[in-house]
Structures are given as structure tokens and as C-alpha cells.
Amino acid sequence: MLRDITIGQYYPTESVIHRLDPRTKFLGTIIFVVSLFLFKSFWGFLLTGGFLVCLTVLAHIPFKYVLKGMRPMLFLLLFMMIFTLLMTPGEVLGEWWIFTVTKEGIYAALFMGLRLTMLVLGSSLMTYTTTPNKLTAGMESVFGFLKIFKVPVHELAMMISIALRFIPILLEETNKIIKAQQARGADFESGGPVKRAKAMVPILIPLFVSSFRRAGELAEAMEARCYHGGEGRTKMKPLKYAKRDLVAYLCLIGLIVGCIFIP
Amino acid sequence: MVNFDKVTFEYIRRDEEGNVESINKALNEVDLDVKKGDFIAILGANGSGKSTLARHINALLTPTEGTVFISEMDTKEEKNLLKIRQKTGMVFQNPDNQIIAGLVEEDVGFGPENIGVPTKEIWERVAFALEKVGMTAYREKSPNNLSGGQKQRVAIAGILAMKPECIVLDEPTAMLDPKGRREVIETITELNKKEGITIILITHYMTEVVGADKVYVMSEGNIKMFGTPRQIFKEVERLKKYKLDVPQVTEIAYRLRQNGLNIPECILTVDEFMQCVTG
Amino acid sequence: MSLILDKINYYYGKGTAFESKALKNISLSIPDGEFIGLIGHTGSGKSTLIQHMNGLIKADSGNIYYNGQDICDKDFKMTELRRKVGLVFQYPEHQLFESTVIKDVLFGPKNIGLSQLEAEVAAYGALRSVGFSDDLIDASPFELSGGQKRRVAIAGVLAMSPEILILDEPTAGLDPAGRTEILSLLKTIKDEKGITVILVSHSMEDVAEFAERIIVIDDGEIKFDDEPRKVFSHAEELRKMGLEIPQCTELMSRLADAGFNVDRTCLTVDEAVASILRSAGRGE
């Protein structure tokens, strides 16, 4: 079911990673992603992979749940790996029809697969451990300097946080509309591509209409609660660095330095 | 606290060229006077103008003609806007579409954040508000997993945290089951009695109205009837003309009286009925 | 035509960390021409149950028989079940999508393979059954009032000529007059076409007045399945499930407890008035 999509959703539990400042987690994710591309040997994967495992354990998130988040990415991942495998020139190991497998290709595909997997796992770890509100507060603060260039940072952050909250609600709504149309005999499974595309109309129109209605009602509710943009707004949970954030930054620096100097 | 002076509101529909296609008077010269601490109920059929009226109290809409005053402040004046909205909070029908944050406590804190309350005080207000609606145990939960009645109580807490003098509820129980309805009505009744908050409740459920101080009946953009629940529910036939109803026990008593039984004029609850017949 | 549910079990989120049992050992028999009320608080499993009845959800264990045929059999035609068991979801007007009312109502009949002519006959008939005025059939469904939209949506299912019509809170959000109109329409449709109507409702008063049989579901289990009088005699149990009894039933049972010679099982205002008048010696 659509409900099973776990990527990008908050996993409520108590842990030191959950308590970290969202800016630390946001910048930390960027540092982690950068360090993934700094090394050239398997030792690097051992280091970054170990780092990731430690984080997951510290965050009290079951490995099963984390891996499930990978599922929607699996197809893309496999596709890119196969593409790399077949397209890298080098020492030929085997040939079949127009495909050539090279030693370099195997390495490159493996590296790429591992890097992408860790990239996705690393960044979903951020969303698992940070509520949408905190995450956007963190992003708002990290990108705050853009305000000088008239970028509506607060508004964008608010939009993202609301979008995240409404993902499960809209998925449920879609599910309901699909079922309602199925109850009216609609068939979404058979027929060619044109027929299938046409079959989407009875789902998409009600979905658009209801999203607009929801958006309107939400805007009204926000306005009724005195929302008027970021100006003069205080914060219930202002961002404050603690000692653990310092420790986290030190670890991250350790990681990136390690990745640069690893043989 | 809430004053309507000959308020008219028109929905104007235009065609593609911008010419006026039709004008629909949603409110037609409505006068309303709500005193501080009152519990007011507004009844009316679908499309009678109740929701339009509610949106005027919170300055989400402003009159086409006439004036709305909230504690002597004119809702048409831009500078009063935030003050008015802080004084008169609003709860809507669909619980899902009014919860903004991903955590209960953060949602309750949303209003105070908007009006610039200092951080420490926001926490105090959130704790107070959640306590008042009995949702303290859920403060760190996601609103998505709450029942309808609980979501509406969170919405009420979100408004309480802004220290309002008045709460307007636009069919807050329409999407709830009997238990959820009971929770919401008990919560607002208590807020009215214990905190002295003015309540303006819009509903289709007649039994929710019997505890109100005053009831207004709307039809076609006008207030047609107004009085205590007892005065209003006395007129069973007239209410039916406005597509409304009376509580079952009221109707039973009314019909027994018509048949010549010695029953007082307007009975509102089962308890009252029992008192009358057992003495 | 009959629908039999035999020991149905269903789990939410099967195989995930959030697995929970939504339906427990549900056995039901739905015969022809009955007006059934289905009550239970939000999350009790009502919605899940009704979706089993027309095959939108597949049970994890147990069988559903439609006219004696197992709906899980390979040669069973699911479209036939969808056609014969019409399901009107909550706030059905949110599923309207066509540019005109009539086109929207035609969607169902055409999906089940009726010819244009047959479909139109069915659609016009259905719109008439729900009391929709003829001069609005070419209007956009999005411009109608809430109550009118609701009727169009119900007509959309009715036009498929179901033999069982299931409605999930068809009166939610309507004013008292609108509620009574819709419910009376359902009763007329049931009487005229001899179909079975299953009404899911949060209003005990409505169910008491219209249903001939009430099924109470709580925590995924059937707690009561009986005639309304018997079901509403369990006031305490119902309250524990977050439900209630109709106000007039409450009044009558309290009068009876206080020693008055009245019928404590009255379900409607009419019955209650008649019973009190009888006991006061003014009855017919």
C-alpha cells in the first residue's frame, strides 16, 4: 500500500541523534555526502559504512525500517549500476553480444551502488530523526543568509514543512479516490498505455480538486491563527547548539579528514 | 464583545470577461450582539449563511456593507487584524485541514509564535492549553494518529494558547462520531464555565445547543429567530420550516402537550422530562 | 442474491512493524431486501468491513460467497461483484470529476459495459430516484450545492443497478432536513427496487428509525447483530464502545424504570408518543 513508503518520514523515538540540533544534522548530511565522494578504495566504504551503522544504532531506528526506505530507490539504483557496469572501458573480462564487462566496470558499478545507497540512507537518517518542523527550521537558519538576496527563505521553509505533513494525508486520499472509482467499475489495470492514461482522469481531477480545497482551508486556518509570514515571529523551539553538537561536528570533521587521507 | 451592525456580505460571481454574472447575498443586514462570557449557538440549514457569519467574526471576511466590531475594533481596519484574530480564535469543520505542524505541541505553539510570544511563555501557554483540553499525554505525538475528537481538541488548544476571549467553532463536530462529539462539546462547555471564554458554536446537531445561553437561527442570510434554547425549541413547526429540528425529547414533550397531557411548555433534556413527570 | 461472509480476518499493514488486526472472525449473512444499519466508532473496522463486501479489500483469511460462489475463485468475475454491490464512500461528492452531471453518472454504467442507450436509461432513472431535478443534469457537478452533489454521487452508484447498496455516512455534514430527505430516499429505493441497503452511520437516531437490523462493530468484532429494539436495549455496552442509544429510547427506558407503564424499547418519536399516550389512557 501507499502507506508503506517510509522515505522522508519522521520516526518518533528518543535518542541522542534525535536531540541533535537540526542544523548539525543538515550540515552533517552534506558533509557525509561530500565525504562519500572523497575516497577511492574500499577502506573508505568501511569507514563511512561504519559511521552510518553507528548513527543508526545511536538513533534507535531498526535496520529493517531503514532498509525499507531504500525500496522505492531500488530500481533506479540497479539501472544505474548496470549502466555503469556495461559502459566502463578497461580490461575486458567477458563479452556477450554488444555488451562488454570489464574489471573497471565491476569496480565502478560496485562503488557507485554503494555510494548511492549510503547517500540515500544517510539523508533519510536525517529525515527519520528530525521532525519536519525542526528540519525546516534548520534549513531556514542554514540558508538564512540568502534573505539578503530577497530569497523568501521562511516562506519556502514553511511550504516544505506543510508539504511533508500532508504527504500521508494525500496518499490516503488518493487511495480512497482510487477505491471509490473502482467501486464504480473503473479499471486501472488493463488496456494499452493510452487507455491507462485516460483511466487516470477520474483519479487526478478529484485529487486536484480536493488538494485545492485542502490548501484553501489550510490557508484560512493559518490566517485565522494570525499567520502573516516570518515577520515578528518568535520560535517555540529556537535552535540552540549544545555540547553534543560540538561532539557531532568533531566526529564529522574526523570522518571527512579520514576519507581524504585513507589509502 | 462581538457586535454586528447591519452587516451585508455579497459573493459576486464574474464571467470570463469580468462582468458580474450573479450576486449572492450570503448575509443580509445581520445584527448581532454577543456579550463577553456568553455561550452562543447558531443554527441554520446548509447555505443559510452561518459559515460566512463566522468568518466575519475572525476578520477572514469583511462586510460588503455595515460594520463588525470585535471589542470596539472595526474588522475592516488592517491595523486591528492581528489583535482581532488573537482575541477571537476559530475552529473549523475538517480536523485534518487546520493542523499545521507535525507534532501536537508544535501545532499548539503555532499561534503564539505568529503573534511573537517569547519562547519561554510559549511553552507555558502550550502546557496550559493542552492541559485544559485534556491532551497533555499526546503532546509529542503526531496529529495524524489521533482520533477526530482528539484532533479537534488539539485545534481548540491551539487557539487557547493565544489567550483568546472568544472561540468561534464552525461545525466542529460534523465529521466526528458520538464519542468525539461528546468530547468536543464537553471541552468547550468547560472552557466557557471555568475560563469565562465566549463561545460561538455553529452546528447542525440540536442536542449540542441545549446548554447555550442564546440561540440564533439563520436562514437565507438573515437571523430569523433568537432567544434562549427554551424559547427557540418551543417553536417546533417554525424550526422545521427552516430545515432544522428539535431534540427528540423536546418533540415528544411538544406532541404530548398538543395531545392534552399536562407537560410544561418546553423540555430540553431527558433529565428535565423525568423531573416533570416524577415531580 | 445473497452475500455471505464466513470467518473474515484482516490485518492492517500486514508484515510491517505496525501490523494490527482490523477484522476478527467476521461472519455475516446479507439477504435480499433488508435495511441494515452498521454502527461503530471511528476506527472500529466498519470501513474495512464494507470494502470487503465488494472486493476492494481482500481478506487475509476466511471466505466471501456471492450467490454461493467464492469471490476468490479464479473464474469469479470481480466486475460482476462491484456491479451488484454498490459502495458509496463517505463524502462521495469528492469523487465527481466529469464536466456535466449526466456524464458523471454515466461513468459507472459504461464501465460495466452497458450500451450508451442502456447506460443513459440507467443514469436518468438513478437521478430521478435520488430526487435530482432534470433541468440541472447538464450543469457542472462542481457548481451544485453540497446536498445536490451528494445526490449526484449516490446516483452514480445507483445507476449500476446494484442489489446491495452500501453507504458510508451518506448524511454527514447535511442539515436535519437534508438528512431526513436522503434517508427517506434510501428507504423508498429499497422498497421499490427490493434491494438491500446497508447504512453506515454515526447517528443512532437515524439508524433506529430506518434500519430493520443493526450490526454493531467494535474493535474489529461484531458485538451485536440483531433487530434495533434488542440492540438498543444494551445501553451500557454501547456507551462503552463510544456509541449511544437514541434519545427517545433513553427517555422511554428511564420512564419505564421510574415505574411508568410504557414500552421501553421505543425507537422513534412517533412510537414514544403513542406509547406514552396509551399509558396515560389517551391512546386509540
From B179, B251, B274, residue closest to C258, measured CB to CB: B274
CATH 3.30.70.20 fits B2-228, yes or no: no
How close does chain B come to A25, measured CA to CA in Å? 18
Interface residue C260 vs chain B (CB under 8 A): yes
Cα torsion A105, A110, A113, A114: sign = negative
Q: Cβ of B119 and A235 within 8 Å?
A: yes
Cα separations (Å) of A150 from A144, A145, A228, A231, A242? Answer: 10, 10, 17, 14, 31
The pLDDT assigned to C128 comes to 94
Instruction: Sort strands B88-91 and B166-170 into parallel, antiparallel or unpaired.
Output: parallel
Contact C174, C90 (CB under 8 A): no
Contact list in A for residue B126 (CB cut-off 8 A) is 236
Domain coordinates in residue numbering, chain B: 2-228
The complex scores an ipTM of 0.89
Q: Cβ of C111 and A205 within 8 Å?
A: no
Contact B186, B139 (CB under 8 A): no
The pLDDT assigned to A243 comes to 92
Cα separations (Å) of B155 from A133, B115, B182, B204? Answer: 17, 17, 16, 20
CA A115/CA A121 separation, integer angstroms: 10
The residue among B114, B119, B142, B175 with the most chain A CBs within 10 A of its CB, best to mutate, is: B114
| Terminal CA-CA length for chain A | 45
Which residue stretches of chain C have pLDDT < 70? 1, 15-18, 283-284
CA closest to A178 among chain C residues? C95
B171 secondary structure, DSSP code: S
pLDDT in tens, chain B (279 residues): 899 999 999 988 887 787 887 888 899 999 999 999 999 999 999 989 999 999 999 999 999 999 999 999 999 998 999 999 999 999 999 988 999 888 899 999 999 999 999 999 999 999 999 999 999 999 988 888 888 999 999 999 999 999 999 999 999 999 898 889 999 999 999 999 999 999 999 998 888 999 999 999 999 999 999 999 999 999 999 999 999 999 999 999 999 999 988 888 889 999 999 998 887
pTM listed for this prediction: 0.85
Cα torsion B91, B97, B101, B102: sign = positive
Q: Cβ of C247 and B249 within 8 Å?
A: yes
CA B143/CA B78 separation, integer angstroms: 33
Contacts of A156 (CB under 8 A, 6+ apart): none
How many residues does this entry show for chain C?
Answer: 284
Contact list in B for residue C176 (CB cut-off 8 A) is 204, 206, 243-245
CA B119/CA A238 separation, integer angstroms: 8
CA C195/CA B68 separation, integer angstroms: 53
CA triplet A259, A262, A263: central angle to 5 degrees? 145
The pLDDT assigned to C17 comes to 60
The pLDDT assigned to A207 comes to 93
CA C144/CA B258 separation, integer angstroms: 40
Q: Cβ of A185 and C111 within 8 Å?
A: yes
The pLDDT assigned to B160 comes to 95
CA closest to B173 among chain C residues? C173
Q: Cβ of A185 and C13 within 8 Å?
A: no
The pLDDT assigned to C283 comes to 56
Taking residue A189's Cβ as centre, other Cβ atoms within 10 Å add up to 7
Contact list in B for residue C251 (CB cut-off 8 A) is 248-249, 252, 270, 273-274
**Nearest-CA neighbor of A66 among A117, A121, A130?**
A121
pLDDT per position as a tens digit, B82-105: 999 999 999 999 988 999 888 899
pLDDT per position as a tens digit, B107-136: 999 999 999 999 999 999 999 999 999 999
Contact B129, A193 (CB under 8 A): no
Q: Cβ of B207 and C277 within 8 Å?
A: no
CA C42/CA C53 separation, integer angstroms: 19
- Cell 437515524 belongs to which residue? C206
CA B55/CA A178 separation, integer angstroms: 34
SS3 C73: coil
The pLDDT assigned to B242 comes to 94
Q: How many CB pairs lie under 8 A apart between chains A and C?
A: 60
A42 secondary structure, DSSP code: H
Task: Say how many CA atoms lie within 13 Å of B26 toward its Cβ.
Answer: 19
CA closest to B124 among chain A residues? A236
Interface residue B241 vs chain C (CB under 8 A): no
Q: What cell does B75 get?
A: 474588522
CA closest to A185 among chain C residues? C111
pLDDT in tens, chain A (263 residues): 344 455 567 787 889 999 999 999 999 999 999 998 888 888 888 899 999 999 999 999 888 888 877 877 888 888 888 888 888 887 777 777 777 788 888 888 888 888 888 998 888 888 889 877 788 888 888 888 888 888 888 888 888 888 877 888 888 899 999 999 999 988 887 778 888 888 889 999 999 999 999 999 999 999 999 998 888 888 888 888 889 999 999 999 999 998 888 77
Q: Residues 142 to 161 of C: which have CB under 8 A from any B CB?
A: 145-147
Q: What cell does B119 get?
A: 519562547
Contacts of C28 (CB under 8 A, 6+ apart): C3, C4, C5, C215, C222, C225
Q: Cβ of B274 and C254 within 8 Å?
A: yes
